[in-house]
Structure 1
Amino acid sequence: MASLEVIRMGNPNLRNVCETVEIEEIQRPEFQTFLKNLVSTMRDKNGVGIAAPQVDVLKRVFVIEIEDNPRYPNRVNFPIVIAINPEIEVVSDQKIDSWEGCLSIPGIRGQLKRHQKIRLKALNEDGENFELELENFPAIVAQHELDHLNGVLFIDRMEDLKTLAFEEEYNSYWLGKSI
């Protein structure tokens, strides 16, 4: 599979609301190839998630997977999920600290708060409905990726920019800490 180019902050397409994927489109060979390429891109870039607009495709699709990722060490593995036309329902009002990075904002991390527990509803790669309850890091990743589908970057959700840091400084000063 091909690795796609990841667009970076400043590209206006990262700020657009994405279009719904029609059921007929999911079955098309070119869309199935796109899904495989999106997964391949996420893995090639050591991401734990990636959304279609990050590769300049304005469709409501994201993928998440956590598997021994060097950018997020010591995280529990989570199997691949392809989410088409995803919706998130908050299951718990409790929020947790989240140190996030983004493939479209390379080399930068920042702290924000996300809901600890959510329900993800979407279509899978076969166009079938599914629901998953996610908590902690997988829930954070899903919320981050859904934001991309609505033109929102993690830095937009930061209440305080004091923790905005380059990854090297994050690793030296902030890893495992909260403000």
Structure 2
Amino acid sequence: MITMDDVIREGHPTLREIAEAITIPVPEEMKQLGEEMLQFLINSQDPEIAERHALRAGVGIAAPQVNVSKQLLAVHLPSQDEEDDEPEYSVIMVNPRIISHSVQQTCLPDGEGCLSVDREVEGFVPRHKRITVEYVDLNGHSHKERLRGFPAIVVQHEIDHLNGVMFYDRIDPENPLALPDGIDILGAN
């Protein structure tokens, strides 16, 4: 079981590497790691399990964050409807790449956080509002998905990890709370 002890923190060199592509068919150890990463996210969102194992809640994790420099990520977004047990979006992606994106940008109203960053970083993180991502699943099947809003933001954050980019690299260092022209704050009308 992955715990916070397995998650490397900012300053670790692996977080700045460009992750290697994974061979297809997906090797067993990568399948297992992908499943463990997804289970970590599910566990981190369960208050009882999270407290028992001192897990910080997360919605996405990339293999470099557990010190494996491979193109593998997991995302688990719980349903916004408390009556619904099905997640809004839950996926393990192998070798993901964004093949197209909107010109329009968006950002989260309270900025972004990261399991590998133990401090609060203030500032808006501009992201594409819509993306099309291609990836392979653990069984070696290819997928192409269009994502928008929060799922698109989370996937972009995790793909950044595969390219050695931290979310705060995207914040304007001169004026972190300045909104770029034409950007849309997610959830704002």
SS of the residue 2:31 aligns to: helix
8 Å CA contact 1:27–1:126 kept in 2: the answer is no
CA distance in 2, matches of 1:39, 1:102: 16
Structure 1's unaligned 5+ residue stretches are 70-76, 165-175
TM-score w.r.t. length of structure 1: 0.79
Deviation at 1:27, TM superposition (A): 4.3
Q: Summarize the Cα distance change of 1:127–1:37 in structure 2 as closer, same or farther, 3 Å threshold.
A: same
**Corresponding letter in the other structure for 2:116:** S
- What does 1:102-113 correspond to in 2, within 5 Å? 102-109=114-121, 110-113=123-126
Match status 1:90 vs 2:103: no
CA distance in 2, matches of 1:147, 1:15: 10
Q: 2:132 aligns with which of 116, 119, 124?
A: 119
Residue in 2 that maps onto 1:36: 35
Give percent identity, aligned residues only. Answer: 37
- Which consecutive segments of 4 or more residues in structure 1 shift more than 4 A? 161-164
Structure 2's unaligned 5+ residue stretches are 45-55, 81-86, 178-186
Q: Which protein is richer in strand relative to its size?
A: 1
CA distance in 2, matches of 1:96, 1:146: 17
Deviation at 1:65, TM superposition (A): 1.4
The size of the alignment, in residue pairs, is 156
CA distance in 2, matches of 1:17, 1:129: 22
8 Å CA contact 2:107–2:126 kept in 1: the answer is yes
8 Å CA contact 1:90–1:115 kept in 2: the answer is no
Residue in 2 that maps onto 1:100: 112
CA distance in 2, matches of 1:161, 1:137: 26
Q: Summarize the Cα distance change of 1:38–1:61 in structure 2 as closer, same or farther, 3 Å threshold.
A: same
**Corresponding letter in the other structure for 1:60:** Q
Match status 1:63 vs 2:64: no
CA distance in 2, matches of 1:104, 1:37: 17
Residue in 1 that maps onto 2:24: 23
8 Å CA contact 2:79–2:88 kept in 1: the answer is no
8 Å CA contact 1:27–1:127 kept in 2: the answer is no
Deviation at 1:68, TM superposition (A): 5.4
Deviation at 1:96, TM superposition (A): 1.1
CA distance in 2, matches of 1:41, 1:161: 36
Q: Summarize the Cα distance change of 1:27–1:145 in structure 2 as closer, same or farther, 3 Å threshold.
A: same
CA distance in 2, matches of 1:129, 1:159: 36
Residue in 1 that maps onto 2:141: 128
TM-score w.r.t. length of structure 2: 0.75
